[in-house]
């Protein structure tokens, strides 16, 4: 995944990290911390950041911490479980020449699963940031991630992905990335 031009075809998609949904998600504070790290890391590397919100008129907006980081991100509301079906999202991805989605969010067995299946069917490469996904029951998430791995989806921790993009310590953003990793490592889980 390393290389200088890789970031031009990547986008980070954070799915439905809404406070009302997060209340029932296992280890939601740790999940939020990892998603915030992924958003800042993507922004550091000039990777477009996209957020979806499931029925925000009923379930409310995404978590305020993500809203604070989302100044450069696009937010799409949706009524379908798959984010790919959010009005305008697929057009945005095509217009930006996005070929590879980095995906995090909730809930792994529902919205993340259906988004990944639809993205693969639309010929996107997909990497799930496994430390940036969550669900109510951890065992459900484990089953889904195993299934998606067999469906040709990459499943990796966020730091592995972002350091792979850097490729080495000689990358001009290496020190900034390391500082970001330290910042989010010091936040209590």
What is the three-state SS of 52-116? EEECHHHHCCECHHHHHHHHHCEEEEECCCCHHHCCCHHHHHHHCCCCEEEEEEECHHHHHHHHH
Mean pLDDT of the chain: 92
Q: Give me the pLDDT at residue 42, please.
A: 95
Q: Give me the pLDDT at residue 3, please.
A: 46
Mean pLDDT of 91-100: 96
Q: How confident is the model at residue 188 (pLDDT cuts 50, 70, 90)?
A: low
CA proximity to 42, closest of 130, 103, 133? 103
86: which residues sit within 8 A by CB, 6+ positions away?
Answer: 52, 76, 77, 78, 80
Q: What is the pLDDT of residues 171-187, one digit of tens each?
A: 999 999 999 999 998 76
pTM over 0.75, yes/no: yes
Mean pLDDT of 90-114: 96
> Domain spanning 6-185 has what CATH number?
3.40.50.850
């Amino acid at each position: 995944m390393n290389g200088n031009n890789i970031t031009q075809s990547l986008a980070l998609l954070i799915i439905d990290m809404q406070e009302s949904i997060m209340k029932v998600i296992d280890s939601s504070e740790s999940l939020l911390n990892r998603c915030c790290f992924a958003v800042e890391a993507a922004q550091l590397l000039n990777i477009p950041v996209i957020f979806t919100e499931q029925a925000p008129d009923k379930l409310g907006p995404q978590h305020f911490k993500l809203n604070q980081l989302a100044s450069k991100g696009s937010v799409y509301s949706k009524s379908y479980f798959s984010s790919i079906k959010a009005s305008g999202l697929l057009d945005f991805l095509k217009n930006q020449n996005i070929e590879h989605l980095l995906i995090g969010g909730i809930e792994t067995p529902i919205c993340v699963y259906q988004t990944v299946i639809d993205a693969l069917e639309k010929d996107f490469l997909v990497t799930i940031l496994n430390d940036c996904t969550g669900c109510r029951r951890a065992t459900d998430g484990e089953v889904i991630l195993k299934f998606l791995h067999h469906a040709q989806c990459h499943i990796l921790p966020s730091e592995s992905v972002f350091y792979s993009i850097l490729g080495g310590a000689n990358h001009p953003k290496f020190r900034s990335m390391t500082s970001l990793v330290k910042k989010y490592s010091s936040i209590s889980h």
